[in-house]
Structure 1
Amino acid sequence: MFRLGLIINPLAGIGGSVALKGSDGAETARLALELGAKPRACERALQALLPLQGLEVEVLTWPAEMGADVAINAGFEPRVLGQIESGHTGPEDTERAALALAAAGVDLILFAGGDGTARNICNVLSDRVPVLGVPAGVKIHSGVYAVTPRAAGEIVAMLVRGELVTLADQEVRDIDEEAFRQGRVRAKYYGELLVPQEHRYLQHVKNGAREVEELVLADIAADMVESMLPGVRYVMGSGTTVQAVMQELGLANTLLGVDVVEDGQLIASDCTAEQLLALTESRDSQLVITVIGGQGHIIGRGNQQLSPALLRRIGRDNIHLLASKTKLKALEGRPLIVDSGDPQLDAAFAGLMRITTGYHDAVLYRVADY
């Protein structure tokens, strides 16, 4: 029987919906909860376990919200190790859990978290046991994560069924959250972990290289501005491509946040998920987003402010997706990914989607159904 270790960082990603751009540290988590953020890591871990139902899997995990509750909800009878102070978990709990599960001889550790969680596991495990991340954080720069929770479950299911899955070292990277909140991305290498690889399902390390296609970005921005309608509120996502649109409009921009524009004027800056819902209520609204370079995500990486409720309100047909052809070619044919936290909504995005790639220039590109 396949022995699966399960670790959940219950506060992973909690700062995303309230525009805190990270969740590292007890103070950040406390502030996020005060602002009304809802923990999502357990829900995402449950999505990863569903493809394993009916397979010969023994789950070993940590108590309560760090794994046991989710494993039971998924229909497993987990073997629970260790102890925690429920409601007050931290990085040291993740490290203790990883060491205990490795000592118990699990075949793979499946963990839900962000880059900080990957760092914690890398601190104590290195390449001692294979691991796989379920993406639940605000920032995912490391190459140890599946592209979506469901994709993580599919990789584990392949291993359980005995299918050939390559094991390879993948980088663990994390950024300075304080610099990130000021619009600067400083990713640092922390080591490597042994990860099962499947081309469709495993996330690539984020491409942090600055794109030098300034003329192309200017063309994309000019096309987008030309198409903007009077009386419509535009939710402007994060990233340098959307930033070019804001520059074309002559407006201040939150590079790593979400702003709102109407009739050429900045209505609100660095909005939370709740603020975006309030600002778009009973208003004609559209969304402008781009593709994360090297990864292909359009929803769910660094823009958790774009909640499922907001995406449903705006609708797929009112989303403007912007990217240079160079950025798309770097994906090497891999599909775009929507990872909103709502599997039904993610599935509704599947299929071909129009991407503006220049001035009056666009392509159709596939959005994955996982």
Structure 2
Amino acid sequence: MSKPIFRLGIIVNPFAGIGGALALKGSDGAKIREQALAMGAEKKANEKMAKALSILDALSGQFEIFTASGDMGETVCASLGLPYTIVYSPPSTQTEGEDSERAAKALIDAEVDLLLFAGGDGTARNICHVVGDTIPVLGVPAGCKIHSGVYCVSPAAAGQVVSQMIAGELVSEMEAEVRDIDEDAFRRGKVIAKPYGEMRVPAELSYIQAVKMGGREDEALVLDDIAAYVSEIMEEEPETYFVMGSGSTVAAIMEYLNIDNTLLGVDVIKNGQLIASDVTAAQLIELTRLKPCKAVVTVIGGQGHIFGRGNQQLSPAFIRQLNKSNLVVVATKQKLQALEGKPLRLDTGDADLDLELAGAFTIITGYKDKVLYNGV
């Protein structure tokens, strides 16, 4: 008896993540999308889905694809020369969350073995609303907000998991939480995250991200130690522009310095003064070009990402301009221990750059206290 053909469903939210590099704190809502596109935002979701699907080349003939028309899936399949069947066509090129839901319903009716989707937490919510626990799903991270546990750590990781399933390898399954935040509160510097349900995902834990962790104990003293050490570094380099990435650990440094902070954005300081607040990717490159510059970034708790999660303003172009030696990575040891040996994740959006950055990182974990930790 021949092996059955694996039925792979694909949905792309083509507008996922377009607000990230422009410091818009999300992409939900027609007005935000229109604003982002007017500002010159690039749609990257299909590019990220392509990175996942390109890994399936060696399995040609062992799977068939069911998807939506246009940029919701057809475009990326056609670009890679993958045969596909269209099961849903959106009424407009300006797709909405309802289109993701209708496409998901069509894929359930097509009896796919796995629904692979590219988007952010808003897309995960749409998929969850329709799918629930009916079929396995897997997310390709492409949005500004990636708090949900249904996403792989990178597009390539998603492709690897799918390839294992197509090849018939034993892949466990788990329930993963879908979470999303209030974007309006997000833009005001507040993280109000809520659970919206669970979906079934293949449980290859080295590839699937954990739900973002908040602090579970008072680490104020440790954060003060980290802040004091980074402050000394800054004092020693008064002409250096320090780009302050997002996250609570970086926020603690800004509080220590008594400088207004954009918790969920990127700020620039020099010689103890705020130079620019909540900058876009383009503004950051222009502001720091040909100037001495360092970037202070932290590790996202539970996931291990230092790029690609809430700090898309730190674009590949900026990081190349900066280079690895000028990255100041800060994290508490508790946060690193919570990774349970998993490496730091480098999801800059540029695979070649990820390879260049891979390897050991020096991480500041206290006052003149550092550890080495690998990144991939």
Shorter-chain TM band: over 0.9
Q: 1:214 aligns with which of 220, 223, 242?
A: 220
Matched residue, 1:115 = 121
Distance 2:320 2:267 in 1: 18
**Mapped pair 1:26 → 2:33:** no
Distance 2:180 2:216 in 1: 18
Q: Which secondary structure does the structure 2 equivalent of 1:274 belong to?
A: helix
Q: CA deviation at 1:145?
A: 0.3
Distance 1:347 1:66 in 2: 29
Distance 1:308 1:210 in 2: 32
Q: CA deviation at 1:209?
A: 3.4
Q: 1:332 aligns with which of 334, 340, 344?
A: 340
Q: CA deviation at 1:173?
A: 0.7
TM-score normalised to the size of structure 1? 0.98
Distance 1:30 1:249 in 2: 37
8 Å contact from structure 1 (residues 64, 86) kept in 2: no
**Mapped pair 1:73 → 2:79:** yes
Q: 2:203 aligns with which of 173, 181, 197?
A: 197
**Mapped pair 1:98 → 2:108:** no
8 Å contact from structure 1 (residues 234, 286) kept in 2: yes
Encode CA deviations 1:193-250: one digit per residue, 9 max, x unaligned.
1100112100101112355110110110111111121211111001111112212222
Matched residue, 1:295 = 303
Matched residue, 2:372 = 364
**Mapped pair 1:165 → 2:171:** yes
Q: Which secondary structure does the structure 2 equivalent of 1:243 belong to?
A: helix
Matched residue, 1:312 = 320
Encode CA deviations 1:95-124: one digit per residue, 9 max, x unaligned.
010010111111100000000101001111
Q: CA deviation at 1:334?
A: 1.1
Q: 2:184 aligns with which of 178, 184, 191?
A: 178
Matched residue, 2:8 = 4
Identical amino acids, percent of aligned pairs = 56
Q: Which secondary structure does the structure 2 equivalent of 1:48 belong to?
A: helix
Matched residue, 2:50 = 46
Q: 1:276 aligns with which of 277, 284, 296?
A: 284
Name the amino acid aligned to 1:159: M
Q: Which residues of structure 1 form unaligned runs of 5+? A: none
Q: CA deviation at 1:333?
A: 1.0
Distance 2:217 2:247 in 1: 12
Q: Which secondary structure does the structure 1 equivalent of 2:88 belong to?
A: coil
Name the amino acid aligned to 1:238: S
Q: CA RMSD in A?
A: 1.0
Q: CA deviation at 1:54?
A: 2.4
**Mapped pair 1:13 → 2:21:** no
Greater mean deviation of Cα atoms: 349-358 or 247-256: 247-256
Matched residue, 1:258 = 266
Q: Which secondary structure does the structure 2 equivalent of 1:158 belong to?
A: helix
Matched residue, 2:153 = 147
Distance 1:39 1:210 in 2: 36
Distance 1:342 1:42 in 2: 14
**Mapped pair 1:156 → 2:156:** no
Q: CA deviation at 1:34?
A: 1.5
Name the amino acid aligned to 2:329: L
Q: 2:135 aligns with which of 124, 129, 137?
A: 129
Distance 2:191 2:211 in 1: 14
Encode CA deviations 1:145-183: one digit per residue, 9 max, x unaligned.
000000000000010111111111111111111111111
Distance 1:211 1:220 in 2: 17
Distance 2:93 2:313 in 1: 24
Distance 1:248 1:213 in 2: 14
Name the amino acid aligned to 1:104: A
Q: Which secondary structure does the structure 2 equivalent of 1:69 belong to?
A: helix
TM-score normalised to the size of structure 2? 0.96
Q: 1:233 aligns with which of 241, 250, 259?
A: 241
Name the amino acid aligned to 1:49: L
8 Å contact from structure 1 (residues 65, 86) kept in 2: no
Distance 1:136 1:299 in 2: 13
